[in-house]
Amino acid sequence: MKKTYHTFPILLLALLPTFLWGDPSISDKKLETSFFETQDGKIAYTQLGSGKNQFILLPGIGDRKESYKELAGKLTKDGVVYSFDLRGLGESDVNFPSYGPKETALDILSFIREKKLQNVYIIANSMTAASAVYIKSKENKRVLGMVLSGPFVRDKEPMSFGLKSLLNIAFRGPWGASLWVSFYESLFPVNQPSDFEIRKTELKNNLKQEGRMYAIRSMLFASKKECETELPNAKGNHIIIMGLKDPDFSSPEEEAHWIRDTIGGKVFLYENVGHYPFVEEPDRFYEDIKILWQKK
């Protein structure tokens, strides 16, 4: 597996609001943002749907909750959907003392416990797959399953001092947001969504806000070690989805099977898909993951 931040880091999209009840006629309707108070700042999220199941949707580095708009609309047929912004990104505060996969996990654990959620399924992408592992390991009874797409759940070779310096320069100046969006574009090597230009514009505008790129740099340099050590405690009913054209991995198939063999579950490989399977093929993604909670 190669970490794309060895060239340029990971992330998702910025786009229009989320479907309500899966109805495309209201896909452009602005959803009301709620905020979850933590000790160090506010985390932004939207809530849709009703029912017994609780779905927590976590984007990857640089991305926003809106990236899950199509999938969130479909999931409202199955339960309550919470789509989150990470610390420092989207509409969340930028005054947090630290950023990384464990920090995200602790924020979501607090949310689950404060809201007394049960029957939880976590859907995570990229870096937040490590966060999902940590959450599952600490709340095995509440969290019934995970969906990990384009997942980074472990650290491999350490980042060199030279690379850290390069990334600091690349993503620090006024050009940082544009460079990140260019990197983001490369993560769709085959199929781009029809509203790709809008997604890129929305993403760039968000990342130009003060403190957003600092959050990204912090996440890029954050270790996954504390989440990785919890892998043996996160075994269960899971789904791992990889795009075989994902440039973040030298062998997406190999990494997906390693994760499956470590924590259990089922692997789905999407042949002509990059880093964001739930964006490129939302219908297929939904059909594949609903086996986690729908009785046969």
The angle that helices 212-221 and 176-186 make with each other, rounded to 10 degrees, is: 50
**Closest-CA residue to 120 (of 50, 219, 53):** 53
Residues 6+ apart with CB under 8 A from 222: 98, 99, 100, 101, 102, 103
**Closest-CA residue to 263 (of 227, 236, 294, 224):** 236
pLDDT number for residue 31: 82
For tokens 């404060």, the residue is: 114
Look at residue 258 and give its three-state secondary structure.
helix
Task: Note whether 111 and 43 are within 8 A (CB).
Answer: yes
**Which CATH number characterizes residue 160's domain?**
3.40.50.1820
Rounded CA gap, 15 and 131, in Å? 23
Query: What are the tens digits of pLDDT across the range 189-237?
Result: 998 999 999 999 999 999 999 999 999 999 999 999 999 999 999 999 9
Work out the pLDDT band at 16, boundaries 50, 70, 90.
very low
pLDDT at 14 over 90: no
Domain extent, residue 73, equals 4-292
Cα dihedral across residues 279, 109, 45, 79: positive or negative: positive
Cα dihedral across residues 229, 232, 235, 240: positive or negative: positive
Residues 6+ apart with CB under 8 A from 154: 130, 224, 228, 231
In 93-142, alpha helices (H):
101-114, 128-138
Query: What are the tens digits of pLDDT across the range 104-148?
Result: 999 999 999 999 999 999 999 999 999 999 999 999 999 999 999
Query: What are the tens digits of pLDDT across the range 74-108?
Result: 999 999 999 999 999 999 999 999 999 999 999 99
Task: Note whether 5 and 158 are within 8 A (CB).
Answer: no
Task: Note whether 106 and 84 are within 8 A (CB).
Answer: no
How many structural domains does the chain have? 1
Q: What are the E-state strand segments in the chain?
A: 34-37, 42-48, 53-58, 79-84, 120-125, 143-149, 238-243, 266-270
Tokens of 192: 């781009």
β-pair type (120-125, 53-58): parallel
Sheet holding 53-58, edge to edge: 34-37, 42-48, 79-84, 53-58, 120-125, 143-149, 238-243, 266-270
